Amino acid sequence: MRLHTMVLRNLKRRQLASILTGLSVSLGVGLFATVGALREASEQGFNRSASICDMLVGAKGSGLQLTLNALYHMGQSQGNVPYAVYEEIAATPGVLWSVPLAVGDSFRGQRIVGVTSNLFSDVHLGGANLAEPLAFADGGPFAYSRAEFAELKSELGQAAAEHSSEAAHVDHDHNAHLKSMFKAVVGADVARNTGLMVGSKFTPAHGVEGVGGGGHQEAETEVVGVLEPTGTPLDRAILIPIGAYYVIAGHEATADMVAGGTRDPRGLSAVMLSTKAGFYRTRIFRSLNDRLDAQAVYPSQEVRKLFSIIGQGDMVLRLITALIVVVALVGVMVAIYNTMGARRREFAILRALGARRSTILGLVTGESAVIALLGGVVGLGLAGVLIYAVTDQVHAATGVRVTVVPGAAELQLLAAVTLAGAVAGLIPALSAYRTEAAYYLSSNI
Amino acid sequence: MIHLQNIHKSYPSDADSGLVLGFEDWRVARGGQVALIGESGSGKTTLLNLLSGLVQPDSGIVSIDGTDLAQLSEAQRDRFRADHIGYVFQSFHLLDGYSVKENVELGAVFAKGHPQPGRAVELLEAVGLGHRLQHMPRQLSVGQQARVAFARALMNRPKLLLADEPTGALDYENGKQVLAMLLQTARESNITVVCATHDMEVAAAFESTVRVEDLQ
């Protein structure tokens, strides 16, 4: 019989108390691990999404709002950047690729984003160095190049000039070229939530919340591709050729618009771009921010800022859950301490059989540590269940798929809780350590 | 085997002078069987505790098989006790929550050479409890508990067996059987036995009887 057998045997003798105290530890550890894992996984997910591009260019204003709106499809756009900015960016040395974005419509709450088709080939999830191009579960990308977009913008500009007193008119019925633009690639979640699949047709609605604005009946769009899940907000996006966005009724330029401003309907919601690293990136970033009509932001930095803002609240939450663990461990200590009186004779017998005081100390701290360890293991299991239960909600809110695979952090937490359990057991253990065997072996005790 | 010299042991809380034990010289040869008798409070149990190393004398030498326990650290005394001393208590002190077999195994858990597979079963079979290995102590009669305690005391193959009123909780017949078993096993294995008792009939079964008051 070994010491650990004796520890387990003693816990089994007080099964109910051991289970109850262990459960209190598991609840604390479960909450602590859940909060930590959700935060970390969310940050990783946000960072993964932020790595879609190196830089975002949008209207002057909050960089965080620009990032959240353009990349995460959250909140409202703070305005448009002139189309000319995109053209300049695309022609700037050091820019590897750029994708213009136009948002403002939706379908059943899923945002519709106008893009050029190079997004499907240029975007690599996890950063440009990671070979994770966008993959299709079904169908394929639509074709809509920057040149086609430039051509369309030119046509629309001329049309606006010719109809100076009314909205630039687009004849959908007689323009096969324009009709062919109404194609869409949908994210994995969109496909699941809306039932859209390759060959499905839908009608975009004005507005990003899917309520309020009316439908664009003239812009019935056919789904040509469904993306594989990416764990990013792309899963929740309906991607259409950006040109289609500009020919949908209600998006046309009007004669009384203020050209070049943030409300210029001919402008773009944002531009995603990837650049060469180092000098080029810094120069492009600075030159864009020197402009009066646009700003450039690094999405990864904005995400870091976001997490530093919410970090304070997160810290309080972590502290509270850590306190729950501490209280549970104090409960373990009290539960074991309360048995000390009845166990003096047991310790005295073990001493008479040759057990050292340190062995008695180890026995009691071992019991406390094992309760904490088992509580911790159950707690981590509980955390896994909790995280599994909320992962869909987090994904629905942020587009970030939270996955929790037990790793080094969980093992460290388990080790820390076990150690803390052993420390909590020290007070009753010291009491046991001081047991005078000769006194308690007396027949009268 | 046992040599106690210039022993002085007192407890500060003692109402009188505090003196519990004080004597110049006491020896027991290897394989000797000695009954300690004396009035309650005369120091019989204290003397057993001195021999086991659970209690230290204020002064003097407690030598067991040539090892002066007073010169050892507490941990060393614990190890010495685990390796060389067996102890049988009046109320047997079996541990709840451990089976009969496990209680016997506890007798060698802290000894050098642990584990000794099969020895616990051998001992229990020898005392007639081979069929109750997995029973719990509370499921045994008092006489059976005494046999388990006796088996536990032999588990580490002790050189010295200490017994504190081993028959005190037993009826006459059981007491006689346990005592006979104890003395016969000790004789066969050349184990030195020191037994504290107030029962003169029990004391008479030993080779020699020492009145603790006479040692003073």
Question: What average pLDDT does range B137-143 have in this prediction?
Answer: 92
Q: What is the rounded distance in angstroms from the CA atom of residue B114 to the CA atom of residue B108? A: 6
Q: How big is the CA angle at A241 (ends A237 and A244), to the nearest 5 degrees?
A: 110
B-chain CB neighbours of A359 within 8 Å are 110
Chain A hits for B107, Cβ within 8 Å: 353
- The pLDDT value recorded for residue A22 is 92
SS3 A297: strand
Tell me the C-alpha distance between B172 and A207, whole Å: 99
pLDDT bin (cut points 50, 70, 90) of residue A392 is confident
Strand A110-115 and strand A237-241: pairing? parallel
The identity of residue A21, as a single letter, is: T
Q: Nearest chain B residue to A345 by CA: give it.
A: B93
Q: How many CB atoms within 10 Å of residue A436? A: 14
Report pLDDT for A252.
Answer: 61
For residues B177 and A100, what is the distance between their CA atoms, to the nearest angstrom?
Answer: 100
Tokens (6 digits) for B26:
């006491």
Rounded-to-integer distance, Cα A403 and Cα A45, Å: 9
pLDDT (tens digit per residue) in A380-389: 999 888 888 8
Among residues A102, A3, A101, A27, the alpha carbon closest in space to that of A381 is found at: A27
Q: Is B40 helix (H, G, I), strand (E, B) or coil?
A: coil
Domain boundaries, chain A: 3-45+309-440, 55-297
Q: What are phi and psi of A293, to 5 degrees?
A: -105, 5
Pair B39, B13: CB distance under 8 Å = no
Nearest by CB to residue A441, choosing from B81, B89, B102, is B89
Burial class, B93, CB count within 10 angstroms (exposed 0-12 / middle 13-18 / buried 19+): buried
A438 and B111 in contact by Cβ < 8 A? no
pTM of the model: 0.70
Q: Confirm or reject contact between B133 and chain A (CB < 8 A).
A: no
The verdict on a CB contact (< 8 Å) between B87 and A357 is no
SS3 of residue B194 by DSSP = strand
Q: Supply the pLDDT for residue A177.
A: 64
pLDDT of residue A45: 73
**A443 touches B at CB < 8 Å:** yes
Do A198 and A139 contact (CB within 8 A), yes or no?
yes
How far apart are the C-alpha atoms of A350 and A357, rounded to whole Å?
A: 9
Number of Cβ atoms within 10 Å of the Cβ of A285: 18
3-state secondary structure of A54: coil
Q: Are A390 and A32 in contact (CB under 8 A)?
A: no
Residue of A9, A349, A354 lying closest to B78 (CB–CB): A354
Contacts of A417 (CB under 8 A, 6+ apart): A25, A29, A325, A329, A372, A373, A375, A376, A379
Mean pLDDT of B204-216: 87
Residue with tokens 């007192």: B10
3-state secondary structure of B37: strand
Q: Which residues of B touch A2 (CB under 8 A)?
A: 109
Residue of chain A with shortest Cα separation from B78: A354
Could you read off the pLDDT of A167-199 as tens digits, one per residue? 445 555 545 566 678 899 999 989 998 999 999
User: Helix, strand or coil for residue A442?
Assistant: coil
d(CA A175, CA A154): 16
Contact between chains at A353 and B107 (C-beta distance less than 8 A): yes
pLDDT in tens, A90-141: 889 999 999 999 988 888 888 999 999 999 999 887 654 555 678 999 999 9
**Residue A412: CB atoms within 10 Å:** 10
* DSSP annotation of A215: B
Percent pLDDT > 90 in chain A is: 36
Interface ipTM: 0.91
Query: Which pLDDT band, with edges at 50, 70 and 90, does B13 fall under?
Result: low
